[in-house]
């Protein structure tokens, strides 16, 4: 640093704006969430009262909290897995230069520029039981699809929208990893008699393990915290709380129910859950990843 910046104050001045932004919009909210989780906050201000672990005891005894946490876990597993497997299949197809693979590469990136709330509004129309794509199916079998009153249908709709929004980034990452695999390895495997699927399993997938780990780490974290826009614009947690993931329950409790202490406590528990998930990924799964080729 001293070689690049003869004056030390210049280096600190350059990183100061970014440091302030991170401290103001990340570390300060995290600190306040943990602080408020140990206090009883009044809805409209005017002071607080330290209550210790009472908020945690109240939240952990609430069946709605465990229900939202279970829905979050199910959404994380199903949504993240599909959001990685589908882009992987598309990336394998694009890497093989099949017909229309070149224009498909550009088209598959477009959804990345669409906000989550906008995706939700579009999919609400697409999955409308009377006007959407499944309207003919409802005409033949009335009531088979109605996310307005059926919780399973609403949850499925949220998962599909999440997967669609996650395709672009994962597709680009996985395709870049596949294209970095030396072609000489493909030819050597083909000369040894390995078919296309055998080459995918034994050559390509092991060599793109770093890219797969990256997509899994980011996608699992994003599925826990990033579904708020979809839920708010598509179902608002309904019907009957069937799509109330923990991140949306925190919003409802804090901004609609004015239970600031309860919302802060759930936020702290959600952060602990994300930290445990991330630690498991890096301490256990990353050990199976080889970065040298």
Per-residue pLDDT tens for 27-83? Answer: 998 998 999 999 998 877 677 888 989 999 999 999 999 999 999 999 999 999 999
Question: Could you report the per-residue pLDDT of 178-227, keeping only the tens digit for each?
Answer: 888 888 887 888 887 878 788 888 888 888 988 998 898 888 888 888 88
Is the separation of the CB atoms in 133 and 127 below 8 Å? yes
Task: Return d(Cα 88, Cα 173) in angstroms, integer.
Answer: 9
- Give the domains, in start order, of the chain with CATH numbers: 47-288 (1.10.3720.10)
Q: Which helix (H) or strand (E) holds 9?
A: helix 8-22
Question: Could you report the per-residue pLDDT of 232-258, keeping only the tens digit for each?
Answer: 989 999 898 999 999 999 999 998 888
Q: Which two tokens stand for residue 282?
A: 């890096």
Q: Tell me the helix, strand and coil percentages in the chain, rounded to 5.
A: 70, 0, 25
């Amino acid at each position: 640093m001293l070689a690049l910046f003869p004056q030390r104050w210049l280096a600190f001045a350059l990183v100061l704006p970014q440091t302030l932004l991170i401290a103001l919009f990340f570390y300060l909210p995290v600190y306040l969430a943990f602080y408020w989780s140990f206090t009883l906050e009044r809805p409209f201000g005017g002071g607080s009262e330290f209550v210790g672990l009472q908020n945690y005891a109240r939240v952990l005894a609430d069946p709605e909290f465990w229900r939202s946490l279970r829905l979050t876990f199910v959404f994380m597993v199903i949504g993240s897995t599909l959001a990685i497997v589908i882009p992987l299949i598309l990336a394998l197809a694009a890497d093989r230069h099949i017909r229309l693979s070149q224009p498909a590469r550009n088209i598959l990136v477009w959804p990345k520029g669409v906000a989550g709330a906008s995706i939700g509004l579009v999919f609400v129309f697409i999955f409308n039981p009377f006007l959407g794509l499944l309207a003919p199916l409802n005409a033949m079998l009335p009531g088979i699809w109605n996310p307005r009153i059926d919780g399973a249908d609403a949850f499925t709709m949220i998962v599909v929208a999440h997967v669609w929004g996650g395709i672009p980034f994962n597709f680009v990452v996985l395709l870049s990893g596949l294209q970095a695999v030396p072609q000489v390895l493909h030819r050597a495997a083909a000369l040894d008699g390995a078919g296309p699927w055998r080459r995918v399993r034994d050559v390509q997938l092991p060599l793109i393990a770093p890219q797969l780990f990256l997509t899994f780490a980011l996608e699992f974290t994003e599925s826990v915290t990033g579904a708020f826009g979809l839920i708010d614009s598509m179902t608002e947690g309904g019907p009957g709380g069937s799509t109330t993931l923990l991140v949306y329950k925190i919003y409802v409790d804090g901004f609609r129910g004015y239970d600031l202490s309860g919302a802060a406590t759930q936020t702290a528990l959600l952060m602990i859950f994300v930290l445990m998930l991330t630690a498991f990924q890096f301490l256990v799964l990353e050990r199976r990843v080889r970065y040298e080729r």
